[in-house]
Structure 1
Amino acid sequence: MTQPLRSRRRATHRIGAEKADPAESAGGGRAAMRRAGKKSDRRRALKIVGLLLGFVLVLGVGTAAYAYWKLNGNIKSDDLSANGKDGAGREKVDAFGRSPINILVIGSDARSSAADCKLGGACEEAGGARADVEMIVHISADRSNATVMSIPRDLRTDWSGCHDSGHPSMPAQINAAINSALNGGPGCSVVAVHQLTGIPIDHFMMIDFAGVVAMSNAVGGTPVCVSKDVYDPYSHLKLKQGSHILKGDAALEFVRTRHGFGDASDSRGRTDAQHIFLNALLNQMKSKGTLSSPEKVWGIANAATKALTVDNSLDSPNKLIDLALDLNKVPAGRITWATMQTQDIDLPGGGSKTVIAPGAKEMFKTIADDQSLTASAGKKGSPSATAGPVSAASVAVHVENGTGVYHRGAAIAQVLIDQGFSKETDSGNGTPSTATTSLTYPAGQKAQAQAVAEALGLPSKVVEQGTGSQIVLLIGADWTTGDTFPGGKPTPAHVDTQVALKGSNQRTGDSKECAQVSTYGDVIGLDADGMPTSSDHAHSSTSPTEAYALAKNVKDSAP
């Protein structure tokens, strides 16, 4: 029996949501619905795949550096931040002076060229621009791991507004859809995402959809598999259970399918399919057959650079090459794909809105602090799933004030709690007029004490094993002010990566998992041409697998 559609997927009532697909709206004949639905679906498909394929270009063609020198004239650039040099944040360097890299990848629905209008259609109706797909690509300072985090397009959030030369000004935004920030230019999307996450943004890459079809064909097709037969009449994707090589329209249909996979939602079902497709395409790009073919590499590079807008610091082929080489240092098994945690809240007057959910702040912190998520993204029960540094949330500290400064112990205890240490951390009075600060720990808790010391910038010489049953920080006269020990260089405490990933639908880059076909019913029935006979999702009863069996007159998207 097919499960009922959940209220959080009522896209036609969601605040700030896109205009619903014609096939999902009441009224109008089926013929008109079919024509309008195909135009809307193709428009959304192209902008999403433009994002994915442009991103893969940067990940996959570092070894084809020679080609970029001929492509300089294709690249368009813009300001990184709409609010000046600090609007995107600043990276923290590690102990060796190395810095991580964070790239905001944006898929735009703007009709900024004749080619975009021809491919996307509905230019008369389109106004401004929206970032329908956003991904933060994080490459660690030591280039050993990476995280790709998707931000659902309908997420509601606040940001300070944007004032970037050459783009419309935007006042401060309260409870606005994050995809609307692109109306203020790509630098405004950078500001909105940075203020949402606290993650510094070093670069952006914005992709249009003019070269999408040529690029998907240039790579020779992308291998994917699906767990069951699937047919989504709104995206037109129809695949039999098993493995397929997707090219052209089939690739477009796969990555924009909303009703076909997972929980059949924009924030989970579709982003998960995008991760599977993009990961497979990246691995395909890195394969010997692709990178050893100058013709294939040139076709991909030429199409992608025509579709790219980047920040001003990436405005030449050699700069893109340097970035590609950094990205290519990361093995596939050390890349974590995830979607930030969101939840849909029902509104009193009907409908719902998408907001940040528990766990998202932990995910943001792991990325901002350059903490690898790969170990926790592995299979449960494997050694890699339990390996890694101490989690701050499991460490409670008793802070004693020996300075004579009122409330000093409580202040430092709160600093630790704010950094993610256990909320059982407390404070009390220590020996009056203590000269030097010390940190003692019980047997077996050296690693936990070191985590505390690193978070506060304490030197190793003050950390020693004690005789008590808990970790005790005694603050002396050598530390009467400030959150960090004088002269110390604090290292951010590690959050629990299992918490950071919970509910994020994560996977690693070496995963061979098939796309999981949705079990939810999204259409009542199909006509002879495979189109839904009703848009009443409240009483849906046909799953994508059932729809496949009913759509006998519809050709499969791929063999």
Structure 2
Amino acid sequence: MLKGLGIGLSVVIVVTAGAGWWFYEHLNGNIHSLSLDGKGGTEKADAFGRTPINILVMGSDGRTSAEDCKLGGGCSKTGVQSGEGNADVEMVVHISADRSNATVMSIPRDTMTQVPACKDSESGQSTPGYYGQINSALSYGPACQVATVHQLTGIPIDHFVKLDFSGVVKMSDAVGGVPVCVSDDVYDTYSHLKLSKGTHTLKGEGALEFVRSRHGFGDGSDLGRTTTQHIFLSAMIRKFKSAGTLTDPTAVYGLADAATKALTVDDGLDSVNKLISLASDMNKVPTKRMTFTTMQTASDPNNKDRVVVGPGARTLFATIAGDQSLTTGSGQKAAAASATAKPAAGAAPPVPAAQIAVTVENGTAVTGRASDIAAALTGQGFSTATTTANAPSPATRTTLTYGTGQKAQAQTAAKALGLSPAHLEQGTGTGLTLVIGSDWPSGTSFPGATSQPAPADTKTAVGGAHASTADQAKTCAKVSPYKTVNLDGVPMTPSQAYTAARGKPDSDT
């Protein structure tokens, strides 16, 4: 299946604006769009009125055409299939409000989660909701897949881009091939990828084999595949941005035509003008500030072949939702300490939000105030141990009380909520207790204050997330050292299979 080619493909469209009315209408006619139906949540503007952009790029494994059946296989008994298939690739693409940085987070297809109630606007197929594998939500339409990712991560999703098998082939051909590197000889007998050690330029089916390969790299699971997809996408972005790629009119036409034909998008991206705007925003981000990560996972205790959200993932989600970069201005991975200003001499160092739990008590007559504020805190990455309660008595003034040695925690929470130091009080107990008074009847930022997200705990956010940046041109996909493939009934490593299949042509020939 494919991957986040959707990011790079939109860059191509930016050069078509002056190509003539016929060309414009032709490209618009290529685009297939669907409504998100408000399923992805809403972005919040920053202090300057700018909003981030979050796009769910998904690759469908559906065999809904003869071409996809030929490329993906598996249609010998069923024939051409109907429906959306599964979202075997899911990437949340975040472009910051100031367009200075971007994050691409892959969600492994084997993640178990709660799928909400959904109805596909095209097929009419519906579900009351269920607990299952995250990629299955696409069966109920792209909007359901968006809703599922939004519910899992808390990240607002503005748009989606969906591609199928043939879309990857068309895009890789149109761009003239994508250069990739493999650490050793590799033959994945399942995706049919076969390459010798070193660098290769992949087009068409070879490109599809590379992004589909899960047995050839890493530990032979979907987790290893996300890393190779990041390598492929980074290479494609570099090629789009490289000198000369977008200056050949013939190449530009081929790229724009392939891009618009390959996509299904939401109705917020359903015209060339809208894609041009997105392309322009994405093109502002330097490759050294495009961070690729994979959601941290843990083994599902009920199924060894599935995974669940792991340690650090909630912090990664909160960092993206809070529009906080995972790189510094120089393009280096940000560390927790570099995400905040240096404390003054003698001041307590800041405490990461993920380490802070708050007891939120409602001292107003407004129902649900404690829940609203608690959700705002956990949405910014505060501990999920944050709880709610009713205050013992009505309160006219909002206070945040902290225990001995917990002032730094209180300051972090106060900053996130827009509370001034005047609202902080040291108590005799332990922990942090926020009592919401009648001076704060609505909203999740204290009236009259400028609320800022808690400092990003980027060390935790990228820990175990296989973070890389798009400028890393020399990175090779690591071939699996395990016996993850099978040739003529014999289990082998991908390198052993390469040697044993000398008669089969390589994927770049």
Pick the TM interval, shorter chain: 0.7 to 0.9
Q: Which moved more, 1:479-488 or 1:511-520?
A: 479-488
Q: Which moved more, 1:174-183 or 1:122-131?
A: 122-131
Aligned pairs for 1:407-422 within 5 A: 418=378, 420-421=381-382
Corresponding residue number in structure 1 for 2:55: 103
**2:309 paired with 1:356:** yes
Identical-pair percentage: 52
Structure 2: distance between partners of 1:240 and 1:404: 68
Structure 1: distance between partners of 2:360 and 2:30: 59
Corresponding residue number in structure 2 for 1:429: none
Instruction: Report the CA distance shift for 1:126/1:485 in structure 2 as closer, same or farther (over 3 A).
Output: same
Aligned pairs for 1:3-22 within 5 A: none
Structure 1: distance between partners of 2:205 and 2:360: 62
Give the secondary structure class of the aligned counterpart of 2:230.
helix
Structure 2: distance between partners of 1:129 and 1:424: 38
Corresponding residue number in structure 2 for 1:290: 245
Q: Is the 8 A contact 2:399 2:425 kept in 1?
A: no
Instruction: Report the CA distance shift for 1:128/1:319 in structure 2 as closer, same or farther (over 3 A).
Output: same
Offset of residue 175 of structure 1: 1.7
545, 550, 556: which one aligns with 2:495: 545
Instruction: Report the CA distance shift for 1:156/1:438 in structure 2 as closer, same or farther (over 3 A).
Output: closer
Corresponding residue number in structure 2 for 1:307: 262
Q: Superposition RMSD on alpha carbons, in Å?
A: 4.2
Structure 2: distance between partners of 1:385 and 1:549: 45
Q: Is the 8 A contact 1:413 1:425 kept in 2?
A: no
**2:221 paired with 1:221:** no
Give the secondary structure class of the aligned counterpart of 2:162.
strand
387, 392, 395: which one aligns with 2:338: 387
Q: Is the 8 A contact 2:440 2:447 kept in 1?
A: no
Q: Is the 8 A contact 2:52 2:97 kept in 1?
A: yes
Aligned pairs for 1:62-101 within 5 A: 62-67=14-19, 69=24, 70-81=26-37, 85=38, 87-101=39-53
Structure 2: 5+ residue runs without aligned partners?
341-349, 388-392
Structure 1: 5+ residue runs without aligned partners?
1-46, 427-431, 525-531
419, 422, 440: which one aligns with 1:462: 422
Corresponding residue number in structure 2 for 1:58: 10
Q: Is the 8 A contact 1:61 1:291 kept in 2?
A: no
**2:409 paired with 1:453:** no
Q: Which moved more, 1:65-74 or 1:110-119?
A: 110-119
Instruction: Report the CA distance shift for 1:105/1:420 in structure 2 as closer, same or farther (over 3 A).
Output: closer
Q: Is the 8 A contact 2:175 2:251 kept in 1?
A: yes
Corresponding residue number in structure 2 for 1:137: 93
Q: Is the 8 A contact 2:319 2:381 kept in 1?
A: no
AA in 1 matched with 2:287: A
Structure 1 length-normalised TM: 0.74
Structure 1: distance between partners of 2:170 and 2:198: 26
Give the secondary structure class of the aligned counterpart of 1:243.
strand
Corresponding residue number in structure 1 for 2:343: none
AA in 1 matched with 2:503: N
Structure 2: distance between partners of 1:345 and 1:136: 22
356, 361, 367: which one aligns with 2:320: 367
Q: Is the 8 A contact 2:289 2:331 kept in 1?
A: no
Structure 2: distance between partners of 1:168 and 1:400: 43
AA in 1 matched with 2:163: I
Structure 2: distance between partners of 1:411 and 1:204: 30
Q: Is the 8 A contact 2:187 2:195 kept in 1?
A: yes
Instruction: Report the CA distance shift for 1:146/1:316 in structure 2 as closer, same or farther (over 3 A).
Output: same
Structure 2: distance between partners of 1:309 and 1:447: 48
Q: Is the 8 A contact 1:376 1:501 kept in 2?
A: no
Give the secondary structure class of the aligned counterpart of 1:517.
coil
Q: Is the 8 A contact 1:376 1:386 kept in 2?
A: no
Q: Is the 8 A contact 1:484 1:490 kept in 2?
A: yes
Q: Is the 8 A contact 2:398 2:440 kept in 1?
A: no
1:71-106 Cα deviation digits (max 9, x unpaired): 11111111113xxx3x22111111111111111112
Corresponding residue number in structure 2 for 1:152: 108
Q: Is the 8 A contact 1:61 1:285 kept in 2?
A: no
AA in 1 matched with 2:248: S
Instruction: Report the CA distance shift for 1:448/1:511 in structure 2 as closer, same or farther (over 3 A).
Output: farther
1:225-251 Cα deviation digits (max 9, x unpaired): 122222222222222222222222322
Instruction: Report the CA distance shift for 1:335/1:534 in structure 2 as closer, same or farther (over 3 A).
Output: same
Give the secondary structure class of the aligned counterpart of 2:201.
strand
Structure 1: distance between partners of 2:69 and 2:324: 42
Q: Is the 8 A contact 1:399 1:412 kept in 2?
A: no
Instruction: Report the CA distance shift for 1:116/1:125 in structure 2 as closer, same or farther (over 3 A).
Output: closer
Offset of residue 255 of structure 1: 1.3
Structure 2 length-normalised TM: 0.80
Q: Is the 8 A contact 2:56 2:91 kept in 1?
A: yes
520, 526, 539: which one aligns with 2:482: 520
421, 429, 451: which one aligns with 1:490: 451
AA in 2 matched with 1:65: A
Q: Which moved more, 1:213-222 or 1:255-264?
A: 213-222
Structure 2: distance between partners of 1:503 and 1:420: 17
Q: Is the 8 A contact 1:136 1:148 kept in 2?
A: yes
Aligned pairs for 1:13-52 within 5 A: 47-48=1-2, 51-52=3-4
1:2-46 Cα deviation digits (max 9, x unpaired): xxxxxxxxxxxxxxxxxxxxxxxxxxxxxxxxxxxxxxxxxxxxx
**2:289 paired with 1:334:** yes
Corresponding residue number in structure 1 for 2:345: none
Instruction: Report the CA distance shift for 1:63/1:387 in structure 2 as closer, same or farther (over 3 A).
Output: farther
Number of residue-to-residue matches in the alignment? 481
Q: Which structure would you say has the larger Rg?
A: 1
Structure 2: distance between partners of 1:547 and 1:175: 38
Q: Which moved more, 1:144-153 or 1:274-283?
A: 144-153
Structure 2: distance between partners of 1:216 and 1:425: 47
1:91-150 Cα deviation digits (max 9, x unpaired): 111111111111111222334445445554515273532222111111111111111111
Q: Is the 8 A contact 2:167 2:263 kept in 1?
A: no
Structure 1: distance between partners of 2:336 and 2:359: 30
**2:458 paired with 1:500:** no
Structure 2: distance between partners of 1:471 and 1:171: 42
Offset of residue 422 of structure 1: 7.2
Corresponding residue number in structure 2 for 1:273: 228
186, 207, 213: which one aligns with 1:251: 207
Offset of residue 265 of structure 1: 0.6
1:315-356 Cα deviation digits (max 9, x unpaired): 111111011101111111111111112233354xx7643322
Q: Is the 8 A contact 1:205 1:310 kept in 2?
A: yes
Structure 2: distance between partners of 1:377 and 1:78: 39
1:215-234 Cα deviation digits (max 9, x unpaired): 32221221111222222222
AA in 2 matched with 1:546: Q
Instruction: Report the CA distance shift for 1:126/1:490 in structure 2 as closer, same or farther (over 3 A).
Output: same
